[in-house]
Amino acid sequence: GNSVTQMEGPVTLSEEAFLTINCTYTATGYPSLFWYVQYPGEGLQLLLKATKADDKGSNKGFEATYRKETTSFHLEKGSVQVSDSAVYFCALSEAGANSKLTFGKGITLSVRP
Amino acid sequence: ETGVTQTPRHLVMGMTNKKSLKCEQHLGHNAMYWYKQSAKKPLELMFVYSLEERVENNSVPSRFSPECPNSSHLFLHLHTLQPEDSALYLCASSQELVSGNTIYFGEGSWLTVV
């Protein structure tokens, strides 16, 4: 079956530090890949997505590239802000199937001033 | 404002109570979902509806009963719940039930079963 593996957390960074959050997946075919973010007390919001190999999703300074050869979709940001403190979820939807998402466990990011 | 509205935001219920969670989407979408978010566990898909028809039930206990009266509204009826059912219940919608479609989430309903 499909699965998404995220690096263990939590992650604590200082403001303006570089961020990488690893995500790898197992799926048949070419799934669509997503990063969602959950701010404290809120629901999930789509951060970015990529629907085919080598696509790069980007939003709010965050980027992730769909790497089929390494089955990865790592999230990066060059300079994090305190307001980026949240829980980040990597997810996939299976190719040729419906849009339901399989999520990773999520990772908590805390950014210190 | 996310386009997907859930009420109530917080609910405390006893194990013998019957209550309902309500979800409304203002996006004109055709697919709706219920997810459960528990501490230290990945988000779990519970139910999927497409054009008001249930297309997936992910082995959810019968004490959870979904209802989709139209494409804009989704309910989750709760009865005789257990304390381990305490969680954040997230409603979501997408334009179609097609891989790659973005799923939009509501802010969730925090449920505590006492």
* pLDDT tens digits for range B61-99: 999 999 999 999 999 999 999 999 999 999 999 998 888
Mean pLDDT of the region B8-29: 95
Q: Measure the CA–CA gap between B10 and B51, rounded to whole angstroms.
A: 28
Residue that wins the pLDDT comparison between A28 and B23: B23
Nearest Cα of chain B lies from the Cα of A98 at a distance, in angstroms, of 4
pLDDT (0 to 100) of residue B59: 86
| Amino acid letter for position A108 | T
DSSP B103: P
Parallel/antiparallel/unpaired status of strands A75-77 and A19-21: antiparallel
Mean pLDDT of the region B29-48: 91
pLDDT (0 to 100) of residue B1: 54
With beta carbons less than 8 A apart as the criterion, state whether B90 and B35 touch: yes
Q: Where are the alpha helices (DSSP H) in A1-113?
A: none
B41 touches chain A (CB under 8 A): yes
Q: Measure the CA–CA gap between B25 and B4, rounded to whole angstroms.
A: 4
**How sure is the predictor about A7, in pLDDT bands with cuts at 50, 70 and 90?**
confident
Give burial (CB, 10 Å; 0-12/13-18/19+) of B101: buried
With beta carbons less than 8 A apart as the criterion, state whether B1 and B25 touch: no
pLDDT (0 to 100) of residue B42: 83
For residue A98, give the nearest of B2, B90, B97 by CB distance: B97
Q: How many CB pairs under 8 A join A and B?
A: 70
- Work out the percent of chain B whose per-residue pLDDT is above 70: 98
- CB contacts under 8 A, B 45-74 vs A, are 45, 48, 50, 55-56
Check whether B41 has a pLDDT greater than 90: no
pLDDT (0 to 100) of residue B100: 82
